[in-house]
Amino acid sequence: MDAETAKRQITDQHIYEKIWNAIAERQVGPGTRLKEEQLAEIFSVSRARVRQVLQNLARDGLITLVPNRGAFVSTPSIEEARDVFFARRTIEERLVERLCSTIGADGIERLRNHVDQERKAHSSGDVATAIRLSGAFHMLIAELAQSQILAGLLRDLVSRTSLIMAMYQQKDVLNCGPDEHAAIVESITNRDAKKALAVMHHHLAHIENQLDLESERVMARDLEDILGL
């Protein structure tokens, strides 16, 4: 399928996912304006379709619609950031606790393979892939725990976390490496629920403690470069 055919067949859900991924992977920074006409041109769709996608993203809290100004990637406050991490701890500790009693050999293998991919990305200095895999690790845990409700909530929180990290992470602090994820996998593999809860709590606290209210907002790249097909 060539690029022109792909553009003709693009769905609203695909547009939503492209923008969601760009935000989740910190390619589009907080405060970035999302222009309807530019997005319509990038995806070769009508502005009406773009407007609907933006409304869906606003409903999910990823963007803010400002009357007479347009759509902007949301800029969470520090209080909102604390709430996000509180919610993540509550949800993810429940997920790992459940996995300790339900996970099978295939699930353990998928988690280990994922951590191996994270290690490769970190070793090669591929920051974009490392960020993507880091969020995907937490979503994989939700998938394996087989809770659609918690997975849906977590997906939203993971994307909000990306906005928070883009705004507030200290510039001289690196993202958590795969070692903490490996420790989570080990505790799940050993079916040690108490240890799994403690390790996940420590991991999320580590991320939260990297926040710095004095950090400047990141500058966004051109949307055509990020979202173009």
- Identify the CATH number of the domain in which residue 21 sits: 1.10.10.10
Tell me, yes or no, whether 149 and 53 share the same domain.
no
Domain housing 144:
78-208
Among 130, 23, 127, 37, which Cα is nearest to 75's? 23
Per-residue model confidence as pLDDT tens digits over 43-81: 999 999 999 999 999 988 889 999 988 999 988 888 888
Mean pLDDT of 30-51: 92
Which CATH number covers residue 93?
1.20.120.530
| Tokens 């240890």 belong to residue | 195
% of the chain exceeding 70 in pLDDT: 86
pLDDT for 216 beyond 50: no
Tell me, yes or no, whether 23 and 38 share the same domain.
yes
Tell me, yes or no, whether 88 and 119 share the same domain.
yes
Tell me, yes or no, whether 101 and 150 share the same domain.
yes
Tell me, yes or no, whether 34 and 89 share the same domain.
no
Among 61, 69, 70, which Cα is nearest to 39's? 70
Tell me, yes or no, whether 179 and 193 share the same domain.
yes
Q: Which residue has the higher pLDDT, 213 or 43?
A: 43
pTM to 2 decimal places: 0.75
For the chain, the domain total comes to: 2
Rounded alpha-carbon distances, angstroms, from residue 25 to 21, 28, 129, 218: 6, 8, 8, 13
Tell me, yes or no, whether 15 and 59 share the same domain.
yes
